[in-house]
Chains A and B, each alone.
Chain A
Amino acid sequence: MPPPTLALERPRTPDEAIAVLAGTSEARVLAGGQSLVPLLTLGFAEPDVVVSLDRCEELDGVAVGESAAAVGAMVTTRHIELDAALADRCPLLVAAAGNVGSPHVRNFGTLVGNLCHADPGSDLIPAALCLGVEVEVRSSRGSRRLSVDELVAGPFVTSLADDELAVAAGVPLRDRSWRHGYRKLALRAGDLAIATAAALVRLEGDTVAEARLVVGGALRRAARVDRLESALAGVACGEAAAVALATGCWVDDLADDLLPDGVTPLEYLRAMLPRFVAATVGDAVAGAA
């Protein structure tokens, strides 16, 4: 249980939150709390101050524009899952959102909080990386935008400075020539992912013109599968999954990042990931979710 000395701040605006963060080095930002509160309970996180964003109303909104959507830091995964405009313009994000934990978790857990928690088992990080999401970060020193690749440094580690607050995620929107695939492998329903694959393919006729592929899960951090992206360019849709399977050597590029454990040993990850990603490519070219 957290010590009785733990302090809680509930600022009303991001600026107030930033001011609190500027004044302490041992603060943790609380959005939905679905990861942080258990960590506090278990004593795995021991901040001096918890800065809750629950009163920052301006962070609780989705703005869908022509080419991008802005998702505030207090927007829940459930909100994304049920957002009709996002379902239309960014179905990959919505598919990933629907895979997060349970409805109970999604009712409170947020997209931005999930990205900043940097859990390798995240459903949303691979999708966000595949989409090219950028996270807007502010501090008393100014603001910057980080790609997911820049944000997530490793398991449960981000590149955010102690005084920085992630206030929103900018989600690029694509036209209908893009299809997506999203697969999650977990040992049971609702569990953290052993593997997550997100695929976006732009089709020209029956051919893959461009592919963006990301794999996450039992990896230090989610990664683009560059070698496979190149291999798929110009491949006929009907051949895409087979080409992906035949190009499974991409997993060697990630060998140092694999995170085996007692249930899912290294040889399993090396054998499974190429098949899993290839199957996701097959889903994408078939237009299936």
Chain B
Amino acid sequence: MERKKILTVALSICIVLSLVTLAFMTACPSPAPPAEKTLKIGALLSVSGWYSVIDALEAAEVQAVAEYINDEGGITIDGQKYQIELVIEDCKSTFEGITAAANRLVYDKGVKFVVGPTAFFSTASSPIFEQNKILHVSGYSTAQPGELDTSTPYGFIGHNCSVADCIAGIKAIKEEFPDVKKVAIAIPDDGSIPYLIPKVKRALELQGYTVVGDTIGHPNEMEDFSPIAAKLNAIEDADAYLHINGAPPHLGNVLKGLRELGNNKPYITTSLVSCHVIAAIAGTGGATKAISLGITPHAPGNPPQLDAICDKLGTQYEEQGVIYLMTGNSLWVLAQVIEAAQNLDPTVVKEKWESMDTVETLFGTGILSGDETYGIQNHAIGHPMPYQKLMGGEVSFGGWVDVGAIP
């Protein structure tokens, strides 16, 4: 009797699971063969697992960018129009998932150009791409070894990297809080501190700021970041706090902790986390006097292509409060360079990319640079960046800052 019951339950669970699977599989229509020639571009994004909080949105954005390029006529090479066929592979937020996905893209799908994965995840896929001479364009970089250096001649960054975002953050302070002179730095301790912090400090000094206090590295995973907020608060000389590479939980909770301590100094994040997200975590009491880099649709100064893609994404900004467009911008830049190279061979495109000075990005004209930071010429990019302000719980568009060439 008991066994029968268990069997029934197990069977029903199996049925439900298989139905869910089936429903999903049928819901994905197999793309009809397009009349024009297609160019396969792979995208490595962690659609499941802990990183999906960012990459599931990025997947939709990359899709929107690809559609936009296709609507505009695709990539034209020697008069022949190529439609982009995007192949998104799930990285499962683990290194094993990334290597499996990268192998599948290279060997099973036969792609020659890949966008993603983001930041340090790209270290896992680079060896596979380099061996097969596949051009891979990451959406972000934290300047750690293996992400982008002389060992990755086929690797590029198609969006502002961590260093560029720091420059953007510093310029945003200058715009919004001109009387700030001394800055304290916080950063998650993910191994990037020894590589990134000297560069950030130099960029700060170039802009006329002094760094005060020790760099506050914090564990990547903590439930409560109030000890970090207390530590920042204890640096009394600081006029403002700069939080580098912080993920949304870090930023929201540190800001909340600071404001709870009665600290009202400006708090600037250099990650691409929309102020809406920070406000959602920090709560109404904590969300004030903060700046974050992030896209606001239809803000003054937005290039037309950026607005068009924001429109394509529909209500994502209203519902999720954020548009990242890191990998999306990489795809856009990649398409621009392929068109400039007039060739579909990754090696030719790579050489063209290295020889170009500027390239059109979704955010305006980007300057190819980063020779000193990455030890490899023209593989990184610096382009204008919009920022948002968070004042009294209200999010507003702040303005655009020009990053210029990164060192």
| A and B physically associate | no
B interface vs A, CB < 8 Å? none
